[in-house]
Amino acid sequence: MKESVSTQAPKVIKRLQFSLLNAQDTVQLSEFQVTHRDLYTPVDRLPVKDGVLDRRLGTSEKNAFCETCGMSSVDCVGHYAYIKLVVPVFHIGYFKHTIAILQAICKTCACVLLDGPERRAFLKRFRRPGLENIQRQALCKAVNTAARKVVYCPYCSATNGAVKKVGALKIVHDKFRAKKTADEMEKWKRSFAPAIDAQKELGMYLKRAVHEELNPLKVLDLFRRISDEDCELLGLRPEFGRPEEYIYQYISVPPVCIRPSVAQDGASNEDDLTVKLTEIVFTNALIKQGLSKGAPTAQFMEHWEFLQLSVAMYINSELPGVPSQAGQKPIRGFVQRLKGKQGRFRGNLSGKRVDFSGRTVISPDPNLRIDEVAVPERVAKILTYPERVTPHNIERLRQAIRNGCGVHPGANYVTAGSSGFKKFLRFGNRNAIADGLRIGDTVERHVINGDIVLFNRQPSLHKLSIMCHRARVRPWRTFRLNECVCGPYNADFDGDEMNLHVPQTEEARTEALELMSVKNNLVTPRNGEPVIAAIQDFITASYLLSKRDTFFDRRQFTQICCYFADADLQIDLPPPTIWKPVRLWTGKQIFNVLMRPNKQSKVLVNVESKCNRVDEPDPKHYAMKPLPDLSPNDGWLVVVNSEIMCGVMDKATVGGGKKKSIFGVIMRDYGPHEAAAAMNRVAKLCARWLANFGFSLGINDVIPGPILVSKKDVMVEKAYAECDNLIAQAKKGLLENKPGCNQEQTLEALISSVLSKVRDEVGKICMIELSHHNAPLIMATCGSKGSVINVCQMVACVGQQIIAGKRVPDGFQDRSLPHFPKKSKEPPSKGFVRNSFYTGLLPTEFLFHAISGREGLVDTAVKTAETGYMQRRLMKALEDLTTQYDLSVRNSAGGIVQFRYGDDGLDPACLEGDAQPVEFERSWKHALSVSGRGGRPLLPFEILEVVDRELNTKRFTNECTAAYIATIRGFITDNVVHRLAKMRKAHGMFEALERFEEWDSDTDLSMGATVAGKKLVDNVGRVTEAQLLCFLHLCWVKYVKARIEPGSTVGAVGAQSIGEPGTQMTLKTFHFAGVASMNVTLGVPRIKEIINAAKAISTPIISCKLVTADSEPSARIVKGRLEKTHLGDVAAVLEEAWAPEYTYIGVIVDMDAVSKLQLELTLDDIKWAIVNAKKLKVKQDSITIIPRRNRLRIYVDGSDKYYRLRELKRLLPDVVVKGVPSIERAIINIKEKDDAKGKKGDKELLVEGYGLQKVMITEESGIVGEHTTSNHIIETAKVLGIEAARRTIINEIQFTMSSHGMSIDPRHVMLLGDVMTYKGFGMWCTPASGRYRYTCKMNHLFDNMKPSCCGFSPQRTLGRKAAPQRM
C-alpha cells in the first residue's frame, strides 16, 4: 500500500527562478539535431532517423524501446533534440518585451537611451534588495517611457524614433518621427537622389523606406551589443537571461511522450506539436537550400515570414492579428496546453482526480441524525478504509475478510504488514487469509456504520459545502441526509447529486472530524448565524404543534413524545396545563419536553425573541402598556428554563438565520452536541407527526371567498382610477416633479407606487380573509415556504410585472402590444395583471408575465457565471492569509496584513451577539433563571463590589481586553444596579449605591418600606451572588471561546463569506434612499466594481454635509455653485460683429438670470473661464469686458477669421463658467434617519460625478469638507489617502450587502479592505493580480519575473499540502 503520510520529510522547494533557454543549453540537453522533415520511412513505417519522431527521443509505442536509454515507453522520461534555424526568428512570447527593449535602446549603438544621472538613478532603484515584482514592473515601465522620449542618443547622437509593431510579427523603426528631425529626413532622402536619377522607379519606394524594418537578424545584432548593465535597466538580470535569448536560433524539440502519436489502423494521427515541428523543419530546409542556391530575395523573405509564423503558432496558436483558417480546428500550442481551466496548471496541478469517492442522487431521511449520511450498500462495498489490525479489531476484520468483496461488512484487499504484499479478496481462499491475519496487517475493509466520510455538493462556494458526516450503510441506491443539512449544501431533492469521499488515514479522519464535522459547523462563519436548522415541513409541523389552541390528552401527548426519540430516552412527563374539567397538555409542552426530556438533562434554554410574524398587542385594550408577550397571534417567544411561556415555533425560532433561535441558543449555551440532539428530535417529531396529521394543498386553498373577491375588485378599480387621474394630470403637466425627475419619470414613479401598494393591500386582505387552516397561508405565516405575495398571487391578484426595473416597455410603436391604444400608460397596458393564477390570466397578461419570468431566468443564468468568477478572484486574492500565534494576519510570504485579526482577535463564527462575543441581555436573563432565586438578595453596592472583585481576578485581566471588561461593567451598572436602585427609591427604600462605614448587618436599609413593596422589589430586582457569578462566568467563557485560533484560515473564510452571498443577489439596481432618480448600482456589479477598484464606476456619488443643513435656499445656492453652468445658460445674446477694422463675438450676459439662479458670477469670471477653456484657444488680451452693459467681446483676428469666428460661436455656449466640470448634477436629499453625518430631516447634497477634491475644497461654498465622502475608491485613495480608501471599501461592501438584506461580519470585510490596501497602494483583485501570484497564468512565464512559491496556490502546484507556517 502506498504510504499516505510520509515519515521522511522530502526536500523542500524554497524558490523558483525562471530564466531563458539559450542556444547552448538547448543543444547541450539534446541528443541530436533534427534535420529530416519526414516522420516515418515509407516502407516499414518506422520513425525516420533525425526526424521529429526519432526513436532517440523516446517512444509512445508500447512495443518499442527508446534508443537513448533503452527503456520502454512506460519508464522512459523522454529526451530532447534541437532544430538549428538558418535565420533567427522572434519568440512570440517575448515579442512584447522585444519591442519594449527596442523602444528603450538606441537603434544604432544599442545603449539604453538614458543620460548619466537618470541612468544611475534607475540603476540604483533596480538594485534595491527585496524588490517586488510589481515595483520592478513599474520601474521597467518608467524606464521605457523615459527612453522613448529621447530622440538623440546621448552616447552616439544617432537619431531614434518610434518602434512599432506592424502586422502580427513585424517591427518597424520610424526613425524620423519627431518633428524636429524633419530636416534630417530631407537630408536622408536627398542622399538617394543620385540613385533615383539613375532609376526613376525607386522614387516611389523612398517614402516606404523611411520606416526601417527591424528583422530578427538586426534585432539579434542589437541585442548582442547591449551591455550587462543596460540589461538591468531593462528589468532583466543578466545572470538569468540576456535579451538576445529572446530571439530563437535553436528550437528545442521536446520528447515524443508529450506529443504521442495515435496509431489508427495502419495510419497514425500526429499531435499538433509534431505537425508544427515538421513544418518548421521543412521551411528551415527550404530557406537553407534557397540561401545556398541563391534564390530571389522575395522568395527568401516569404519563407522567412512563414518560418516565423510557424514558430509562433508552435508556441501560441491564439495570435492576435493572425487570421485563423475558418472550418479548421485551431491547433494546440504550448500556451494552450498550460492556459485555462483545463490547462496544465488549473486542470492537472492545482486540481487532480481522486480515488475513494462516490457520487449519486440524494434523497431525504428525517430519521437519520443530522451528522449522518446514508451510504447505499453497493457504494459501501466499493469504498474502503485501510484499517490496521490490532488485538481489539482482529476478530471483526477476520470476519470482514471471510465475507470478502461481495457481502457487506467485508473487505477488498489485505496487505501483509511484514512484506507489504497486497492480496485481492475476490479470488483465493479467504478463510485461509482470514486465519493467517496477523497484527500489523492492513485490511481494506468496506465502509461501515460510523465511518467518517466527507460529503460535498457543487458548487462548493463556502467551507460548509463540504462537511464531515458519519456513514450509515443502508439499502437502495441514493445518498440520504437529514433535511436540516440542506441549507449549507444548498441542496434539494429534485435530482441533485452529491459526492462522497472516504479519508484514508487516521490523521485525515481526525482532522475531518474536528474541523469539518456537521456538528462543528452548525453556524456559518459569515456572521455566526445557524445554517443547519429546521426547514420547510419541519417548520410547518412545529408551528402547527405549538399553536396556542393545540391541546392533547394524555394518550396523544405521550404518543407524540415518543415520536421524537427512538425508545432510548427517558422522558419525564410534565404536569398537564388544564387539570379540570379534563387533564389536557398543550402543544408548547411538547417542545418543553423536546428541549429538556428529563430532569437529568441540563439543557435550560432561556431566550426571548420575535417570531416570524408579530402582531403587536393594541395598547388600548390593556390597562397597562402591554409587553409584546401579549401579541394576539402569539408572535413573541419567551422561553424560561426550557419552558415555553408564549410564542410559536416558526422560521424565526426553529429555522436558520437567527442567532436567537432555539438551536442557536442551545448551541451557544450547551454546545453543538446538545443542539444537534435537539435538532434530531425535532426532525423525527415533525416528520412523524405531520405524516399523521396531514398537510396538503388543494384547489380549495386558492379559491377566494366572495368578500375577498369584492374587496379586491374595489381596490383594483380604485387604483386604476387613481392612475388615470395621475395620467390626466401629467398630460396637463400639473404633477409636481420629484427631485431630479422630469414629468414622465415622476408619473412612472407615482403609478408604480400606487400599483405596488395595491398588491400589498390585497395581500393583507388575503391574510385576514382566508381561513387560518388555509395551507398556503399557514406556510406564509410560519415562514416555511412562500410569502404573503405568493399567496396573494394565487388567490387574488398577480400584480405588476417588472422588466429591467421598469414597467413593461413598448415592444410595438408607442405601445407594449397592439391590444392597447397608442401612448397608453394605463396599468393593464403596461403589465399590471389584475387576475390571479386561480382565475387565470388574460392573453396580454400572460405574455407580460412570461416576459418577466424569462427575465428572471436569464438573470439567474448570467448571475451564476458572474458570481463564480468573482468568488474565484476573491479567493485568489485572500487564500493564503492566516492568523499567527500573535493573532496577527499574515500572508504566506510573511507580510503583515493585520496586526490583530479584526482589531479584536475574535472569530466571527463564535460571536453570539451582533458582532459582539456575548449578548448581554439574554445572558443576564439566562444566568438569573439558571442559578435559581435561592440565596440572599444583594444590595446595589454589593453587586458592584462582587463585580469589581471578579473582574479584577487574574482570569479576567489576563484573558480579556480592557474594553471588553469595561462593557461588562457598564452593562451591569446600567441595567442591573441602577435599575434596582431606582426601584428601591420608588418604593421608599434607600438606594444603597455605595457602602457606608456605619452600616452593619442590622442596619435597615429599607427605611421602613411596606412588606408589599419589599416583596415587589424582591420579585423584580432580586439578584443573588450565585446569579451574578454565573453571569460573569458566562461572559468570561464566551469571550475566551470566541477568540480566534492561531492558524485559522481567515483569508479563505473571509473570501467565501463575501463571495457566497453574492450568488444570492439579483443583478438589479436599487433606488437611492429618498431620491427616486438617483439610482446607485448595487448587487454583484457593484461588488465587482469595488473589488476591481474600477476607475470608471457606473454611479459615482459624492455625499456632502452642508454647513447650514436645515435651510433649503442655502442648499440650493451650494447646489448652484457645484453644478456646472454653461455660458449658453447665462448668455442672453451671442452676436457676431463685423467691421473693416475688427471682428468680434459679443456676449451679452443675462445678469438678472445669474442673480436669480443665485450664482455668484462676475463678467471677469466668465472671461477667465473662456480663456481657460483649452479647446477655444482664446488669448486673454483678445477679450474685453464692458461692465456697464454686461457685455464681453472676443476679438478675432487672422487670415481665416470667418471660420475661426464660426468655430468660436459654435463652441462658446458649452464653456463651463461656473461649477465643477466633472460633476453631472447635484441633488438635495433629506436624510431619512440619524447617522454620523447629521440628524433626520437634515438636508444633504448628493453629487453625481467625479471630483471629490474640488467638492471638498469649495469650503466657502457651504460644504463641510471633512464630512464629505465619495463612493469612488480610486478617487478617495488619490484625494484622501489609502486609509480612507480602505474605509470606503469596507463601508461600500457593507452598504451593498445590507441593502440586499445580507449581513456579513465586519471582520471579513475589514480583511478584504486591508488586503487591497496594506501595501500602501491599491492591490485590486483583478485578474492581473492573480497572475502576479503565480497561479495558472501563462503571461508571467514570459514576463521574466521572480515567482513567489510560498503562497497556497503555488504550493499546490508544486504538489505540497499547504504553505509552511512561518513562526
Burial class (CB in 10 A: 0-12, 13-18, 19+), 1175: exposed
Rounded Cα distance between 1205 and 1209, Å, is 6
**Does the protein bind other proteins through residue 582 (CB under 8 A)?**
yes
- x/- site string to other proteins, residues 945 to 984, per CB under 8 A? -------------------------------------xx-
User: Which CB, 547 or 863, lies closer to other proteins?
Assistant: 547
Pairing relationship of beta strands 162-166 and 170-174 according to DSSP bridges: antiparallel
308, 169 Cβ separation under 8 angstroms: yes
Q: Which amino acid type is present at position 251?
A: I
Of positions 308, 589, 793, 1125, contacts other proteins by CB under 8 A: 589
Q: Which is nearer to other proteins, 447 or 603 (CB)?
A: 603
CB 807, min distance to other proteins, A: 36
Looking at beta carbons only, is 640 or 1230 nearer to other proteins?
640
942: closest CA among 862, 1001, 864? 1001
Q: Which of 992, 996, 943, 989 is nearest to 968 (CA)?
A: 943
* C-alpha grid cell, residue 296: 530571389
The least CB distance from residue 1019 to other proteins, in Å, is 4
User: Any idea what DSSP says for residue 1043?
Assistant: B
Smallest Cα–Cα separation from 1226: which of 1078, 1325, 1016, 1037?
1078
SS3 691: helix
Tell me the CA distances in angstroms from 1117 to 158, 1162, 1225, 1242, one per residue in order. Answer: 61, 16, 14, 16
Task: Name which of residues 425 to 464 contact other proteins (CB under 8 A).
Answer: none
Q: With contact defined as beta carbons under 8 Å apart, do 558 and 573 qualify?
A: yes
Minimum Å distance from CB 766 to other proteins? 15
**Comparison of 1020 and 1328: residue with beta carbon closer to other proteins:** 1020
**Cα angle: 503, vertex 450, 1048; to 5 degrees:** 50
Region 717-776 residues binding other proteins, contact defined as CB under 8 A = 772
State the minimum distance, in angstroms, from the CB of residue 1023 to other proteins. Answer: 12
The amino acid that residue 1041 corresponds to is K
Query: Helix, strand, or coil here: 1131?
Result: strand
Collapsed DSSP state (helix, strand, coil) of residue 241: coil
- Select from 422-430, 613-621, 860-868, 1149-1157 the region that touches other proteins (CB under 8 A): 613-621
Site string for other proteins, 900-939 (x = CB under 8 A): -----------------------------x---x------
**Residue 646 or residue 1076: which is nearer to other proteins going by CB?**
646
From 187-195, 339-347, 426-434, 611-619, give the range in contact with other proteins by CB under 8 A.
Answer: 611-619
8 Å CB contact between 807 and 831: yes
Instruction: Tell me the site size for other proteins, rule CB under 8 A.
Output: 58
What type of residue is 9? A
Among positions 768-797, residues that touch other proteins (CB under 8 A) are 772
Interface residue with other proteins, options 72, 268, 633, 1079 (CB under 8 A): 633
Residues in the chain: 1367
The whole-angstrom separation of Cα 232 and Cα 1006 is 88
Do 425 and 401 form a contact (C-beta atoms < 8 A)? Answer: yes
The verdict on 587 binding other proteins (CB under 8 A) reads yes
Strands 80-90 and 247-253: antiparallel
Determine if 634 is a binding residue for other proteins (CB under 8 A): yes
Q: Examine residue 624 and tell whether it contacts other proteins (CB under 8 A).
A: yes
Q: Which stretch in 217-225, 612-620, 750-758, 1185-1193 sits in contact with other proteins by CB under 8 A?
A: 612-620
Query: CA-to-CA distance for 650 and 663, rounded, in angstroms?
Result: 12
CB of 783 to other proteins, least distance (A): 17
Written as nine digits, the cell of 768 is 385576514
Through-space distance between the first and last CA atoms of the chain, rounded to whole angstroms: 35
Cα–Cα distance for residue pair 1108/825, rounded to 1 Å? 41
Nearer to other proteins, 634 or 1292 (CB): 634
Q: Which is nearer to other proteins, 89 or 775 (CB)?
A: 775
- Quick one: which of 615, 914, 1112, 1197 contacts other proteins (CB under 8 A)? 615
Q: What's the CA gap between 648 and 772, in Å, rounded?
A: 15
Cα gap 428→423, rounded to integer Å: 9
Q: Which amino acid type is present at position 1114?
A: S
Closest CA to 1265 of 1253, 1248, 1278, 1275: 1253
Binding segment for other proteins among 263-271, 645-653, 897-905, 1213-1221 (CB under 8 A)?
645-653
Rank residues 288 and 979 by Cβ distance to other proteins and give the closer one.
Answer: 979
Of the ranges 626-634, 1024-1032, 1088-1096, 1349-1357, which one interacts with other proteins (CB under 8 A)?
626-634
Does 656 interact with other proteins (rule: CB under 8 A)?
no
Candidates 366-374, 624-632, 747-755, 1232-1240: pick the segment binding other proteins (CB under 8 A).
624-632
Between 387 and 634, CB nearer to other proteins? 634
For residue 657, the minimal CB distance to other proteins (Å) is 24
- With respect to other proteins, which residue has the nearer C-beta, 781 or 1276? 781
For residue 672, cis peptide bond before it (omega within 30 degrees of 0): no
By C-alpha distance, which of 880, 958, 923, 897 is closest to 1307?
A: 897
Binding of other proteins at residue 627 (CB under 8 A)? Answer: yes
Site for other proteins in 522-581 (CB under 8 A): 546-549, 551, 575-581
x/- mask, other proteins, residues 1175-1194, rule CB under 8 A, reads --------------------
Q: Give the shortest CB-1302-to-other proteins separation in angstroms.
A: 33
- Provide the mask over 1008-1047, with x wherever binding to other proteins is found by CB under 8 A and - wherever it is not: --xxxx-xxx-xxxx-------------------------
Name the residue among 1281, 1292, 1243 with its Cα closest to residue 1264.
1243
Nearer to other proteins, 279 or 634 (CB): 634
Among 118, 174, 511, 629, binds other proteins (CB under 8 A): 629
Using rule CB under 8 A, residue 263 touches other proteins: no
Residue 823, interface with other proteins (CB under 8 A)?
Answer: no
Closest CA to 363 of 540, 486, 531: 486
Q: Whole-number minimum distance, CB 937 to other proteins, in Å?
A: 12
Measuring CA to CA, how many Å separate 703 from each of 106, 698, 768? 87, 9, 14
User: Quick one: which of 9, 12, 267, 623 contacts other proteins (CB under 8 A)?
Assistant: 623
Does position 986 interact with other proteins (CB under 8 A)? The reply is yes
Q: How far is the CB of 996 from other proteins (least distance, A)?
A: 24
Taking every pair of Cα atoms in the chain, the longest distance, rounded to a whole number of angstroms, is 133
Please tell me whether residue 643 binds other proteins under the rule CB under 8 A. Answer: yes
The stretch near other proteins (CB under 8 A) out of 635-643, 830-838, 942-950, 1109-1117 is 635-643
Element (H, E) at 1075: strand 1075-1080
Only segment of 3-11, 1005-1013, 1071-1079, 1089-1097 that touches other proteins (CB under 8 A) = 1005-1013
Nearest CA to 473 out of 565, 549, 372 is that of 372
Binding test (CB under 8 A) with other proteins, winner from 11, 392, 555, 621:
621
Distance CA 852, CA 390 (A): 65
Interface positions with other proteins (CB under 8 A): 546-549, 551, 575-589, 615, 617-618, 621-624, 626-627, 629-630, 632-634, 638, 640, 643-647, 772, 929, 933, 982-983, 986, 1010-1013, 1015-1017, 1019-1022
